[in-house]
Structure formats: C-alpha cells, structure tokens
Amino acid sequence: MMKFRFRRQGADPQREKLKQELFAFHKTVEHGFPNQPSALAFDPELRIMAIGTRSGAVKIYGAPGVEFTGLHRDAATVTQMHFLPGQGRVLTLLDDDSLHLWEIVHHDGCAHLEEALRFQAPSRPGFDGASSLPSLSHITVVLLVAAGDMAALGTEGGSIFFLDVPTLTLLEGQTLGPDEVLRSVPDDYRCGKALGPVESLQGHLRDPTKILIGYSRGLLVIWNQAARCAERIFLGNQLESVCWERSGHTVVSSHSDGSYAIWAADTGDSPTAQPTVATTPYGPFPCKAINKVLWRSCASGKHFVIFSGGMPRASYGDRHCVSVLQAETLVTLDFTSRVIDFFTVHSMRPEDEFDEPQALAVLLEEELVVLDLQTPGWPAVPAPYLAPLHSSAITCSAHVANVPAKLWARILSAGEQQSPQPASGAASWPITGGRNLAQEPSQRGLLLTGHEDGTVRFWDASGVALRPLYKLSTAGLFQTDCEHADSLAQAAEDDWPPFRKVGCFDPYSDDPRLGVQKVALCKYTAQMVVAGTAGQVLVLELSDAPAEQAVGVASLDLLQDREGFTWKGHERLSPRLGPLPWPAGFQPRTLIQCLPPAAVTAVTLHAEWGLVAFGTSHGFGLFDYLRRSPVLARCTLHPSDSLAMEGPLSRVKSLKKSLRQSFRRIRKSRASGKKRTVAGSKLQEANAQLAEQAGPQDVEVTPVQRRIEPRSADDSLSGVVRCLYFADTFLRDAAHHGPTMWAGTNSGSVFAYALEVPAAAAGGEKRPERAVEAVLGKEVQLMHRAPVVAIAVLDGRGRPLPEPYEASRDLAQAPDMQGGHAVLIASEEQFKVFTLPKVSAKTKFKLTAHEGCRVRKVALATFASVACEDYAETCLACLTNLGDVHVFSVPGLRPQVHYACIRKEDISGIASCVFTRHGQGFYLISPSEFERFSLSARNITEPLCCLDIRWPRDATRVSHRSRESPKLNQANGSPGIILAPQSCDGSPDPICKGADTPEPAEAMLSPMSIDSATSADTTLDTTGDMTVEDVKDFLGSSEESEKNLRNLSEEEARACAILIK
C-alpha cells in the first residue's frame, strides 16, 4: 500500500519568533595574519596601520580590538596605500590603475570603514597621435601633498599629474611633463632621450610647494611647483627609491647596484651637485638592488639609515633582509619571507627638529615584525595581534570555552617566561590608535592549534584580537636530525654580513612525523593530550616551574598480532631516554606509542578517571595513565583494509590498486543499473499514474527522499576510528549506571565498553593496585555503513552530560540519572537517537536523503535568547560538505535553521571548521587566517571601536555605498556580504554582544562537543579528516553549484545589516 506524507501545518508563529531570538548568522571577524599582503601604510597622528592584499582587501589596525575591514569590488592587487594624516581616510592604488578613497565613518558611537570615492585613470591614447598631451599611463607612485588635499601621481611615461583628493578629479593645468623638466636640466645631466618612469616622489615637511622627483634612470630633481622650475638636480645610477630628510637639507637615494648615496640639498648656488657619501654596504662584489631606503635623524648625531635588499648577489642573493645602520652599528635582519614594505614610528610634528625613531615595523609576506629602536639591541616587540597562525602549517585545532581563571593565569605565566621581554611588550607596541568599546569578556576562551612541527599554540580567543599566549613544543622529546643540521648551519655562517634571525615564521618541518593531529585539554586539572602523525600520544600536565624528569614510555599494539598485515609506512619516533629538562608550562608525563605507528585520528581524555582513549586507522586503545598500563586494544581492520597498512607517506604503491578498484566499482554499478532498468521503468510509470490520481490539487507533498546506496564493507580505510567518547551512563541495565567508552569507525560501527574504574581513584593522584577493566557491552552497525562522525549521551532531560569534574565539583548542574538516557550517533548521512541501555532507535533525521549532502563537523552548543536572560536551548550544529551549517533541536532532531557558511569548493575551510559550545565557530579562509562566525543571536564577538579624527566632515555626507560596504572576504571567497547586525530601524545594535554575555542556567550544564569528552569544543582537525569524499564534493555537478548560488542570493536578499563595526 502506497503511503503519502502530506506537508505539515504552517509553522508556529511563537516558535518562529523564538528562533529569531536564538539563532542568527554573522561572519564577525578574521583572526590571524592577512593572506598575501601587498601594501602597507601608517598614520603617525592617529597611530593606526593599514595593510592591503592581493585580493583587494583593506585592513586597518590600531590598539588591540580596533580593527576595520573593507574589500574593493574588483579583485585587484593593492599596490600602494597612503593615509591622509589625522583624517581617518586612506587612499589606495590598485594594479589596474584605479584610486580609491576609504573613510572611517562614525555612526552611533561606533566606527566602520567604507569606500567613498573611486578614480579610474583614463586609458592610454591611441597610436594615431591625435592627442599631444601627456598620457596618464600606468601609475607608478602616489604622493599626498598640501595636508592630503592634493595627490601627485607619477606615471610610467615620466609625467606627474595632480589630483584633487576630496573629489578624486584631475587638476587641469598643473600636469608636469617630462619635457618641462628636461628644459630645466643641463645637457650634461640628461640621461638619454627620456627620463624614464617616475620611481619616487617625496614631499617637503615644511614647504609643500617643493617636490623631490626621482626618475628610474637616475635623475633626481627638487621641483618648485609654485615657480615651475627645478631648484636642485642630482644624477646617480639607476634609481630604486628616495628619502628626503625632514629638514630638507639631506636627500638619500638607493640604487639598483646595491649602493646608496647621500646628497646635500642646500649647499651652493649651482643647480647641480655630487653626493657627499656614496657607498655599497655589502660590496665590493656585485649586490642586489636596495629597494627602499629611509633616513631618520637623531639629536645625538647618530642617524639611522634603514634599507631593504642590497645583499651580495652570489652569496646571499636569496636572503630577505632589512639592514639597520646607526653610526658604526650595523644589523642585518634576516627574515624567512619576502619583505613587502616597512616604516618607522617617529615624530612628525613640524616643530620637532629630529625624527628620533621609536620603532621599526616590517611587513613581510607571512608576518609582521616590530623592533624597538629605543632599547639597546633593538629587540623584537611581541605582537598583541597579527601573529602568524601558520608559522608552521596548522594541522588541527580545538576550542575550549569558560577557562577557569586559575588555569588562565598559569598559562599566561608560562607564556611570559617564553617571551624575551614580557614586562615591556605591551608598552612598546607602537600601533595604539583608536579605542576599543567592547566590554571586557567575563569568561575566557582558548583556541588551540596543532602544527606540523610538533607544536601546540594557545591563543586568547575571548575577543576580537587573537592574542598568542603560550607555545608548547613536543619535538624535544624525540630524537631528530634537526639539531645536527642547525649546528652545521651555524658553523658555516660567517660574521659578515652580521645576520640576525628575526620573526617566527618557519614553514619547514624537521620531521613530518612530529605533526600534531589531535589535542584534548581538561581545563579543571590542567592535563592535556597531544597525538601525532607517527602514532605518538603524549599525556602532559601543567607545571609552574621548570623541571628535569624522565617520561614514562609505553606501547600498545592495535593489530593484536593479526596475521596478514604488514606496516609499510613511516617508522615510529625514537624517544629520548633518561631525565630531560622541561621549561615551565605543559610538561610530558607519559608517552604512549601506537603500533603500527599510523596517524592518530581520534583522541579523548577523562581526567577524573585517569583514562585516555585514542584511535588510528587500525583500531583504538584505552590507557590508564595513572598506573601507566594499557586497559584495552581493539583492532577495527577489515580483511581488505590493505591500504590502511601503507600509511600516509607510502601511498605510491597502492595507486594502481586504487584505480583498479575504482574502475571495478564503476563497472559493477553500471551492470547493476542495467539489471534494474526494466523494473525501474515500470515502477516510475506506476508512481506517475498514482501521482495523477492523488487527492486535491492544492495539497503539496513533501520532497521525496533521495536514494542512499549502502556502502560496501570492503571499502578501503573502513577501520579508521573517527570518534571516541567517555560517558557515565546506563549500558548494562537500566538500574545501574557507570563509566563507559564509545568508539565510532569509518564503516559505521559503534563499540560501547563498560568500564570498571576503582572508586578510590576518584580525585586521587595514584591509582590503587586494582586495574581498570573494560568489557564490550554493545556493538552497533549502521545500516548504510556511513562513517560515524560523533557520539554523545543525553541524560533524562535530553541534555548532554557535563564534562569531567563539573558535576563532582558543583561547577554544573548534575545530570538527570532518574530518567532514561539516550545516545546520539551522528554519521555522515544521518543523525539517530537510541535509547539506553536497550539501544533501540528513538528518533532520526536523514540529512543526506533530505538535503543531498554529507556531514563533516558536528557539535552540541548552547544558544541563549536575546529576549530572555534565563532562557537557552541546547542544539546540534553541523557543517556539511556543501559548506552549509544546520542547527537541529535535541533530542527531537527537528531542523531549526540553516545557513550558507563556506564555499563548497573550499575543502580546507570545511575540514578546519571548529564549533564552540556557545554557538560560534572558526574555519580557515587561508593558511594564515581564521574566519570567526556566530550562529547565536546573543553570543557575538565583533569589533566595536572608534577613532578620534580631526577631519571636519558633515554627518550627512556619506557615500551611496555606506549601506553596501562589504565585509572583507579573503581569497577563499566566503559568500555573501556579511556585516554587523542592526536593529529593525536600521541603527546598529548598541549592545556589545560577545563572550562577556552572562550565561543562563542551562549553559552551566556544559553541553559538550560530541567529538571529545574532555575538551568541550574539540572537533575534527584540518588535515586528518580530508578524505576522498571531500575531493568528490569538490568535483560536484554544475546543477548543485547553481543551487548553491540560488541559495546564496536568497540569503543575501534577506540580509538587512550593512554596518561594519
């Protein structure tokens, strides 16, 4: 009998209103270092800095928490940026020769960045010679004169045009052509028939009518714009850059042969002069060009000369250097990435006679380095933001919310001991403009990132500025070849040039086996688990003092002597033996080595029981780290899982086999499809006839579920352990509850073990003689064998169980042990709730059947209401392979909202996503940047700041784009114009929403991210979960892409918030 499912009645208005009070999607802020920076600017009056990128992004930074972002409509490279001093305006030049004026506009006490005007240089004239006027060809340099009211544009043709900045219109009659300059130049100083492109323009600090013009062929001219004549002329080698000293008495030029020259600009009556000093700092052998040079004067007479490049071409031509010379002191700053630009922070007041530089800021391709020039030795200043997240490639990430104040202080203390100058770091940071209006967060959030070099970095993710706190390194525990290589490199290093390694960006890993794959942190006991690529699992504990101690080593064979399997991958890491010195911070206590040494795919920690569970592609293990003894080892390999034995570093031999298996599957599916053709066609005809004979025409039928083909049991890597989970629940019978451990695999298998944990161990540091025992209680096989992404146990009220120690220390409401418990199993295709202890199906939602997508990330989160302080709901948030975020009620699994979050093609961004327990999330939009988003209408972390600008502007003079200025979307192209929220009347929400929002009663239940029982916000890592399915998702059909675009346009149409804060 055919059953029809008719559409349910209309939505409940009360529930829809409640959804609006609970859920709202915002992309709020981007953490980390801008991807592919291309331009730099600094406003000495407002003390703010601007960075432009190759994707057309504009980012302005001030004091920590003061950030403004914008994006040019055309995805062109920002080549130059210039602040109008003190006005909160910045002029940008793109590589398509367009100029854009950006303004920081205040609205209701908060500021945002908007593009006000645009100027597009006219195209080059034709070759017919109809126009004899100088052409505004490719713009090479921009100079702001007359306090920013006018801009001089140097071009490739040698002409200089003048632009009215407030209107961005060309000023007629003031164009300075090369012919006019040549008439003022003696014949002896004419370098060929043409002067070449304008390489540099410099203005006089006290006399705005004078401009220093540098042409690429070596001619320097001090031009008096008022008198239209050349006052001084200098001729040098091929020019790279020019700097005019603040008094106007000295001109410094740098050249392509690695030399720089100092010219006296105020001596003699002759219009020509020779340099007073001409030197090649790293000669006499051929050197590379000095790309930029700065001269900064000091009252002591020991002036600074700072330049980039100029290294000996043969020996050090591949180095990225900035040299700082003061009197006889020369330091060659050696960086690991290309130098983009640099500036000094110094006095710009006209009444001051000397510059007296305070700091040097160098923008590199991968990081920003600031040096304190007033402290002997010129030490680097720790950056409170813009730290390079990718100093080593990120391999996994996790979030820990509501960090206790004691643990926070201890981590801060450990990080300060690692810093070279913790006391003066904050005071020495020179970029301090603006005021952060956001309230101090009442609770702290930690973002943990694991890296390829075996380090784990701790970041303060409580506010807008992602501040580095502490770095944990695990490489010191193992024997690697890096130390020997470093000693050889240092021995081969000469004393000249005087190199000094600066910066922390180091993309090269000494050993790929050191890479961190999983991390878990217990915030109440300060214990941590770090698992790596070579099967190493480290249990660490936070210590406030340095110590020298040996680390206990144990191994666990996950194959259990199974025959027919031979590991072909990398070898295990060799640990160092004997007592080892450890600095203050997290110190290793126990090392567990999985055998075979495959990458760890899942890990969880239960500090209250003293247990750690871990899984690889071969099986999972349970270890008692208090007694340092193994409890359980289970092999999950299928007889056909030969690919799992080859490891991530040895897949070449299996390429032919993988291709062979793929073609076999294709042929098999085609053959089975032909057999079903006749029966399928008859069934379709019958369905069509039934549809025509259906009931009333106005009744709509719910969409038909998609067909899900069951996965084969012999798929490769079916034994990969995807998730592990600890819970105190009912497994054996409904009358007795106790510790349990759950494991889910790639083939849809779920194993539940009942644990016997000695009661005396609760709260104690030492385990009694009786060992922990594990007995298999349940084993569940999902019908379609879809990979199990996450597991969580719900109490009698349908709420997630609290974290370890939360209930025993009265830090959260105790779970309901009277009603029946349930277990939520999330696979890639569906969510299903089973009752405990019978494990019978209670509720399910087939996400793949309804939406045509697969689950990639899952977490339980608390959503607080903006209308009622005490109301909150715990929901299930999931991210799919299409980049959409869905929210479901728990335990009913009813769909609440869904949003387009990440582009479907952005595989790395989807794989790196991390949910927090309060409805926020992070994902990588580039190797160096996390995009932060919020699903909660109440818990929003966004920039709320203002600037004290002196530009008198009419409040009504706002460009037509003030309501359409897009939020920065980096190279990954995050969809939609995502801006800060506004109230219904269009004004920005004055409430500072963020981590400081007090949590309602239900939030104290600590709903856990169901990927880990210890770190409530740990989700799957960046690289470890990238599978063949991810690549298949990327190669999706055009029909799905069009559907995504339609959904995207609908979401943009519903967006009503335009203000960037």
Q: Express each pLDDT in 250-263 by its tens digit.
A: 999 999 999 999 99
Tokens encoding 824: 């939520």
Using the predicted structure, report yes or no on whether residue 1029 has a pLDDT greater than 60.
no
pLDDT in tens, 25-35: 999 999 999 99
3-state secondary structure 785-852: CCCEEEEEEECCCCCECCCCCCCCCCCCCCCCCCCCCEEEEEECCCEEEEECCCCEEEEEECHHHHHC
Burial class (CB in 10 A: 0-12, 13-18, 19+), 1021: buried
Judged by average pLDDT, the poorest of 346-350, 924-928, 985-989 is 985-989
- Specify the higher pLDDT residue, 767 or 127: 767
The predicted-structure confidence for 101-120, as pLDDT tens digits, reads as follows 999 998 877 889 999 999 99
State yes or no: pLDDT of 100 exceeds 60. yes
Which amino acid appears at position 997 of this protein? T
List 594's β-bridge partners, or say none: 556
pLDDT of residue 421: 56
Residue 1047 binned pLDDT confidence (cut-offs 50, 70, 90): very low
Q: CA-CA distances (angstroms) from residue 857 to 322, 531, 722, 860, 922?
A: 44, 20, 11, 11, 12
In this structure, the chain runs to a length of 1061
Q: pTM here? A: 0.83
For 170-183, what is the mean pLDDT?
89
The per-residue pLDDT for 589 is 96
Beta strands 239-244 and 260-264, pairing class: unpaired
Among the ranges given (164-168, 558-562, 600-604, 766-770), the one the predictor scored with the smallest mean pLDDT: 766-770
pLDDT for res 580: 95
Query: What rounded mean pLDDT belongs to the chain?
Result: 82
Greater confidence, 350 or 748?
Answer: 748
Q: What is the pLDDT of residue 1037?
A: 43
**pLDDT grade for 491, boundaries at 50, 70 and 90:** very low
| Lowest-confidence pick of 194-208, 722-736, 919-933 | 194-208
* pLDDT over 80 (residue 677): no
**Of 50-59, 599-608, 844-853, minimum mean pLDDT range:** 844-853
Q: In the predicted model, is pLDDT for residue 727 greater than 50?
A: yes
> DSSP letter string over 336-352?
SS-EEEEEEE----TT-
Residue 529: alpha-carbon gap to chain centroid: 23
| Alpha-carbon distances of 55 from 36, 38, 77, rounded to whole Å | 8, 9, 6
pLDDT digits (tens, 9 = 90+) for 867-880: 998 999 999 999 99
Q: Compute the average pLDDT of residues 826-854.
A: 92
Q: What's the whole-number mean pLDDT along residues 1023-1043?
A: 47
Q: Which residue has the higher pLDDT, 365 or 496?
A: 365
What is the reported pLDDT for 422?
A: 43
pLDDT over 80 at 399, yes or no = yes
pLDDT of residue 461: 96
In the numeric block, which tokens belong to residue 631?
A: 């409890």
957 vs 269, more confident? 269
Burial 46-76 (b: 16+ CB within 10 A, else e): bbbbbbbbbbbbbbbbbbbbbbbbbbbeeeb
146 pLDDT more than 90: no
pLDDT (average), residues 972-989: 35
* In contact, 100 and 79? CB cutoff 8 Å: no
Q: Over 60: is that where the pLDDT of 1057 sits?
A: no
pLDDT at 973 over 80: no
CA 1028 to chain centre: 24
Answer with the residue of higher pLDDT: 657 or 129: 657
pLDDT value at residue 850 = 82
- 812 pLDDT band, cuts 50/70/90, is confident
User: How far is residue 204's CA from residue 207's CA, in Å, rounded to a whole number?
Assistant: 5
pLDDT for 454: 95
Does the pLDDT of residue 94 top 80, yes or no? yes
% of the chain at pLDDT higher than 90: 61
201, 330, 370, 455, 596 from 290: Cα distances, Å: 17, 15, 20, 36, 53
Q: Are 761 and 611 in contact (CB under 8 A)?
A: no
Ramachandran region of residue 749, left (φ > 0), alpha (ψ -120 to 50) or beta? beta
| CA neighbours closer than 13 Å in the CB half-sphere of residue 875 | 26
What is the pLDDT confidence band of residue 659, given thresholds at 50, 70 and 90? low
| Residue of higher predicted confidence among 711 and 480 | 480
Res 1035: pLDDT: 47
Give the end-to-end CA distance of the chain in Å, rounded to a whole number.
59
User: DSSP 3-state assignment of 984?
Assistant: coil
Provide the token pair at 546: 């340095």
Contact 70, 113 (CB under 8 A): yes
Mean pLDDT, rounded, for 651-661: 52
- What is the spatial distance between Cα 506 and Cα 172, in angstroms, rounded to a whole number? 51
The answer, yes or no, to whether residue 637 has pLDDT greater than 50, is: yes
CA distance 331 to 341: 18
Distance in angstroms (rounded) separating the CA atoms of residues 55 and 77: 6
pLDDT at 961 over 60: no
Bigger pLDDT: 1029 vs 239: 239
Segment 689-707 shows an average pLDDT of: 47
